[in-house]
Amino acid sequence: MLRRCWVGEKFYFIQFTFPLNNLIDVVHEIETTGWTAEKPLNNVTKHYVIKKDPSIIKFCSSEVCDSFDMVFIVKSFVGNFDQRIAIRNTWGSKKNLRIKALFVLGYLERLQPLVDFENEEFGDILQFGFADTYDSLVYKTIIPIDWLVKRNINTKYVHFLDDDRLVNTRRLHQFAVDSLGTTESKIIDYKLRFRQPFRTKSSKWFTTLEEYPFDFWPPYIIGGTILTNMKVVKNLAYAIPFTKIIKMEDAYIGILAKLLKINVVHNSEFMPFYTSGSNLKDKLSSPDYKSYHSIIDGWKQLQN
């Protein structure tokens, strides 16, 4: 039953339930015994089709083969070839940091030959068989979470983001070391609170009452742009099969965080709007770099 209280002329829940209600106990059981008798609510992490899977040789180059300081899970539209090239040539490949960018793609048949060529060249594409649409964004987050755990990727930190972000890589890495650590149950980025589901059917963010019956989402990180560690990634991977999936990727991670009592921490240096490279020196990242030239030019400004 939903209980409500009055918060600034708006209703907000004080008792939150969402399938699976005993999720934190299930995750603890899996952590400690490797098994649970609880039946999954979805099979998304069992039945997804991998089209491209980074080879160990290419994904772990000779310089960073044993472990990473940070892996970037970059959610990218299939056709954004130029943006991926720009990221590889800028913030995604700092030579003196043990980092790696992994590009997560859906599937679009007419562009597949080009993706095949790209992956042969770079070996950093993780591609799945679902259609590359807005509604697949949640899968571009939750399936790589499962992949990271099942492939036993050895990294301290993981950063989920879209391919239009310009990242101040060195500052981000130092921030993760200073503010996150490897054992804390925490996700960090630009946090939103008291956000309501869209109930208008014409909206691409439309959420039915059957999908989510509450008036407000739990606190969540904007746009699925999440910085965390592998401890949290493993807990999320264990939890996802037992948590009803909704298409709002950022809100879904917020739901998981609430159910698992993961601390969602706000940091305003993850900019929610475009910030030029020259003004990003004391910030962590900015969105709306939507072309090859904008990423390259922004990176040059950041380095000067």
**pLDDT (tens digit, 9 = 90+) per residue, 200-254?**
999 999 999 999 988 999 999 998 799 999 999 999 999 999 999 999 999 999 9
Q: C-alpha distances in angstroms, 103 versus 54, 59, 118, 202? A: 10, 11, 11, 30
- pLDDT at res. 5: 47
| Percentage above 90 pLDDT, the chain | 78
| Single-letter residue type at 100 | K
- pLDDT at res. 94: 80
Model pTM above 0.85: yes
- pLDDT at res. 201: 92
- Mean pLDDT across 23-40: 95
Distance from C-alpha of 240 to C-alpha of 227, rounded to nearest angstrom: 18
CB atoms within 10 A of CB 274: 15
Name the average pLDDT for the chain. 90
Q: Is 222 helix (H, G, I), strand (E, B) or coil?
A: helix
| Percentage above 70 pLDDT, the chain | 91
| pLDDT score of 82 more than 70 | yes
* pLDDT category of residue 58 using cuts at 50, 70 and 90: low
- Mean pLDDT across 11-34: 83
- pLDDT at res. 43: 87
Q: Which domains does the chain have, with CATH numbers?
A: 4-303 (3.90.550)
Under 8 Å between Cβ of 122 and 112: no
Q: C-alpha distances in angstroms, 189 versus 28, 39, 43, 269? A: 26, 32, 29, 8
